[in-house]
Structure 1
């Protein structure tokens, strides 16, 4: 149960006065559905309304707060003409200008003969001062509330600054005094304010400096969020450890037989990771391990050997991929290797129907199929294993935690190995995968050639097309990446469909097209044509980013490369350089280039180290945009900024570990306060694990 002290904060946002159903929808879009969400909606700037000149002294272009007497109203005489209100003080005249305003409302707000306070940007027109749509206005008694420093909040269409500021202020009134959850020595050493005090400070900045991320109040709130994140992950990890596991330790016989068939000897990183995985599997506790490998670092081989470890004990293993293309590709690469040592593999995707699907399900339930490769189809109720011991999940960020658990529930005490080809900076690994042990593949298999990366302006398009033609004459396959599917009115990006048409006029039927709006079967057919058939030039949106393996592809052209994030450019470049031939990646950019875009393209030119690229991406863009947190399954922080507050994360992690060592059920006085913290940041599910554990 959520603590009673938080009830006022978890009421719907329309429980605040002045917010009806229409505004509630807009607030939900901007901040979230609860009053608490408004507390995390922090100011992005401020407006200083303390400048109070006379009308004659008010300069053009500056915000000023003026005290004037209303002289007369001049209603609009034509639809496009503004409504004017003439005012004065002892030094001169000021005209207030309103477009599309209601006369009855203006007459009530500005009665003739009365003194009014107006605040806004002053302009001069025909030598006389005017103010169009004052930001704030009121009576002389309201002067104090108008002339101070005002926080400016991010907005969405339909919400005005005044409405958002008022809603935040009302949410703050509901914020209770909460018991302190920060460890006393950290609290004293950092000289942080209390939680409620910190909230009040960040929402009432008095200078630009108060908006900085390193201010004590902002740091304190960032630490609260990081502590909630680390404590939640530690709780998940502890509850996984509590679950009954089983020791899975094969005798190495199948692995020894398959080793001679592998294309390369294992790298040091593969050997190390494999040792960590098999040691985990041998433990009586359940394994939950992340295998992080850069593009082409050989994760699939490591996963295959881990699955054989399970098969050696008489059990089964499953590998789940996010797309059908990827699942079929995994199957195509591991099935012949397994067949050579007499182990049967199966494939199950959404496309498999009828008799063939029924046969796979029967053989899986009977234990005839030892290793199954599949997509989300593996979750379906009628998929039954004889004895599933290891679940491998590829491209973890495409799946939620609950899907991970669903697959693990298909067996008894299943070990879980999660893989990602997206190199993630260490700070983000902590925030997203703190509940897992991490193995890193940071070496490439021998024989992999570096990719020659060049940066060119779009103006050299003709030269690029000629270069592509030469490469295709020499037998190369070429990727051509465009950022959008169809030309939209709001964008000048090259559309994939248009580029496909243009290149088809030059190369005819050798050009294929793949984009996210195509049906899976259509996409697969084109990809197959590119991998094995007569398609030599594949025009595509970023759907080819993850996993697709075409060793003959040696040229990658990325149009408008400046519009992509570093992690995405690195993933795309990883589609070439997978065979033994020399490969090239051409990054085409549109001018003018921003400083950040220039820096990104320069890093791509300098290095192929995905981990270095990920750290640079985090530095240049901040965590919010990195990998696009919504799609990537990475946590979205509301207050903490992982670049500015990175030093607080290890402190939060160590504190979370210490808490769970000394008070695993969070029963102490501080433990109770920490439960409140978890509920405050909506980590309710993790609190529930305390009870279910």
Structure 2
């Protein structure tokens, strides 16, 4: 594994020095720059212009389209002081063809007399507008003696600002920071550099901070694309190094004879899909290696991840070891347990569950059976991390819904079986860009086929004005013995409001459909009540389950054929897709009703239409990314998404892909990063402050 040098290379010191060393920045201003996320000269240089102003010199304001910004040489005429407080101070000026006025509010006359002495010549630049037929430039942006006129560029960049930072200040500071960015050697593949016509790193910065026109500022300009690529490459190198470290992490060879797996396959009424066969083979091949597996199993709602997971767990048992499967909530853990139980019984393997609710003698008995190896497969929640939980020989850990598990828990899990293979499962189809950004250190298996017999779900948009019809429809379905979910509105961050909405809807439906027919589940219920309401629904005692989004992931009731989502316009696409996936699991034809409040905005309309048109989770995820952006899609707080200053995850998918293959190719050829390009790539990692991430990115 590459050992990164202990400290930052000296050549980078000027870029990571205090901001105070730059022109116009003192201790007070340096604090203001934090509002832009700028703490070092390097941060400042990667704060790129967000626009620009044309300051081309003209002979006269007559040559310009007004109102507009004009840069022109003038002779200063008489000053007209304000007649009373609150009136403007005016200075008459004349260019090569006409006269106009410079106008100042709250002006200090003696200061203006000094800066604009009558009879002198000055270069002025600012917005000129006509008032009552008279041309005026109010508060010019620039006033310079002719000898200093070259200080104004023909095209002036405009920077993002924050309280206490001005355009003049930031422009001056950047000009003094640019000489601190020398050429560090090239970390990008030279063929790629040539084919994309990308400039060297310092030249790219120079071009972007001294643009010669609006096209320089576009995202596709070679200089900007190059800086975006640097960030993506640093990120992919970090993931690649983590992956290398994992590839060298000692694992256990877990190979089975296939006997238990064959028993399960023989007990199934159907054949696995091609995608399931492929994923099972990829996982078994990883487990047979002497290095730790680090794989992501990505499957859409209903793609059959449970079977793949069980096959992987059986490899561990066939090899003489144990497997554990963890879910983020006890409802989900109970479901995995119910889903796996008949399959484990067919294989003749002891399967148990362990959650925080196991207490006393029962818990002690399970722990003893786990330690002695009698339990082959354990299903549980975070409770499996507790110190008193010991395995006889843990070979495989499966983590469900990865983004709800922190890195710390993955570390703890690693400690339970130091060389255990790790398989992460997610039911959220992740667009390719995001899976590259978030899971680039993992190998990925995708389940992109539905098992046979899954019927499509009919999706309809219904206005809340037709609520009574929906309730009638439900009454009829219940009479026919069918079951339904009713998901209540998503009310931002407020669980209390969501709970009230759910309770109100519960009362309304109970009055309409009768006592005992309707159940209620929401996040504020005590766990035991939640479990008993779920059990009533699963076993068919309750016909309609009113719920908040707690049922989003993994609930499995094959008899439920109707999903009503109230105020569907407030939900994200991925969430709606997950909720819809709760129905269509059994024999009956299923329906998903998206209730919306009219009128619908443009984005909401687009979202609900996409859902109506397709059940392909990957297409839905791509659309969701296009509509909402990356941070929102995964929930920025726990997204683990890298923060880039220049690169744009949504718009530069192709660049991210190139960066991944480029980084992997470099590390394949030069894993120690000692070639000239490897040495430059080390500088890049320091430059992009990835040194912290290298040890942390993936914990196996």
Mapped pair 1:8 → 2:14: yes
Which of 359, 383, 389 aligns to 1:383? It is 389
Partner of 2:487: 480
CA spacing shift, 1:620–1:689, aligned 2, 3 Å? closer
> What does the per-residue CA deviation read over 1:602-636, in whole Å, with 9 as the maximum and x for residues that have no partner?
33222111123334444555545543455333444
Which of 586, 591, 594 aligns to 1:584? It is 591
- The answer (yes or no) to whether the contact 2:488–2:566 under 8 Å persists in 1 is yes
CA spacing shift, 1:578–1:170, aligned 2, 3 Å? farther
Q: What is the deviation of 1:137? A: 4.5
Output aligned runs, 1:263-282, within 5 Å. 264-282=270-288
Distance 1:362 1:18 in 2: 69
Which of 245, 251, 271 aligns to 1:245? It is 251
Q: What is the deviation of 1:344? A: 3.3
CA spacing shift, 1:92–1:213, aligned 2, 3 Å? closer
SS of aligned partner of 1:88 = strand
Q: What is the deviation of 1:671? A: 1.3
Mapped pair 1:198 → 2:186: no
> What does the per-residue CA deviation read over 1:426-453, in whole Å, with 9 as the maximum and x for residues that have no partner?
3443333332222221111222221112
- The answer (yes or no) to whether the contact 2:35–2:163 under 8 Å persists in 1 is no
Distance 1:361 1:171 in 2: 62
- The answer (yes or no) to whether the contact 2:284–2:315 under 8 Å persists in 1 is yes
Partner of 1:182: 188
Q: What is the deviation of 1:7? A: 2.8
Partner of 1:656: 663
Output aligned runs, 1:235-314, within 5 Å. 235-259=241-265, 262=268, 264-314=270-320
Distance 1:122 1:534 in 2: 73
SS of aligned partner of 1:409 = helix
- The answer (yes or no) to whether the contact 1:245–1:414 under 8 Å persists in 2 is yes
Distance 1:162 1:543 in 2: 52
Mapped pair 1:538 → 2:557: no
- The answer (yes or no) to whether the contact 2:157–2:210 under 8 Å persists in 1 is yes
Q: What is the deviation of 1:94? A: 4.5
Which of 489, 514, 517 aligns to 2:522? It is 514
Distance 1:203 1:19 in 2: 18
Output aligned runs, 1:612-651, within 5 Å. 612-618=619-625, 623=630, 625-628=632-635, 630-642=637-649, 644-651=651-658
Distance 1:559 1:73 in 2: 65
- The answer (yes or no) to whether the contact 1:225–1:681 under 8 Å persists in 2 is yes
Mapped pair 1:89 → 2:93: yes
Q: What is the deviation of 1:286? A: 2.1
Q: What is the deviation of 1:293? A: 0.6
Which of 395, 398, 404 aligns to 1:392? It is 398
Normalising by structure 2, report the TM-score.
Answer: 0.82
Aligned length: 674
Q: What is the deviation of 1:674? A: 0.9
Output aligned runs, 1:594-605, within 5 Å. 597-605=604-612
Partner of 2:678: 671
Is 398-407 or 319-328 further displaced after alignment?
Answer: 398-407
Which of 152, 158, 161 aligns to 2:158? It is 152
Q: Which has the larger radius of gyration?
A: 2
CA spacing shift, 1:36–1:113, aligned 2, 3 Å? closer
CA spacing shift, 1:28–1:411, aligned 2, 3 Å? farther
Distance 1:525 1:459 in 2: 33
Distance 2:150 2:384 in 1: 65
Normalising by structure 1, report the TM-score.
Answer: 0.83
Distance 2:195 2:57 in 1: 39
- The answer (yes or no) to whether the contact 2:102–2:136 under 8 Å persists in 1 is yes
Q: CA RMSD in A?
A: 4.1
Mapped pair 1:114 → 2:126: no
Q: What is the deviation of 1:416? A: 1.2
Partner of 1:438: 444
Partner of 2:79: 71
- The answer (yes or no) to whether the contact 1:324–1:349 under 8 Å persists in 2 is yes
Q: What is the deviation of 1:194? A: 0.3
> What does the per-residue CA deviation read over 1:538-586, in whole Å, with 9 as the maximum and x for residues that have no partner?
242x454332334344333445545554333322322322333222223
Partner of 1:491: none
Mapped pair 1:547 → 2:551: no
Partner of 2:4: none
- The answer (yes or no) to whether the contact 1:316–1:390 under 8 Å persists in 2 is yes
Q: What is the deviation of 1:655? A: 2.9
- The answer (yes or no) to whether the contact 1:396–1:418 under 8 Å persists in 2 is yes
CA spacing shift, 1:120–1:569, aligned 2, 3 Å? farther
Partner of 2:335: 329
Is 152-161 or 296-305 further displaced after alignment?
Answer: 152-161
Distance 2:128 2:110 in 1: 23
> What does the per-residue CA deviation read over 1:307-333, in whole Å, with 9 as the maximum and x for residues that have no partner?
121112221111122333322322233
- The answer (yes or no) to whether the contact 1:71–1:113 under 8 Å persists in 2 is no
CA spacing shift, 1:354–1:209, aligned 2, 3 Å? farther
Distance 2:356 2:633 in 1: 31
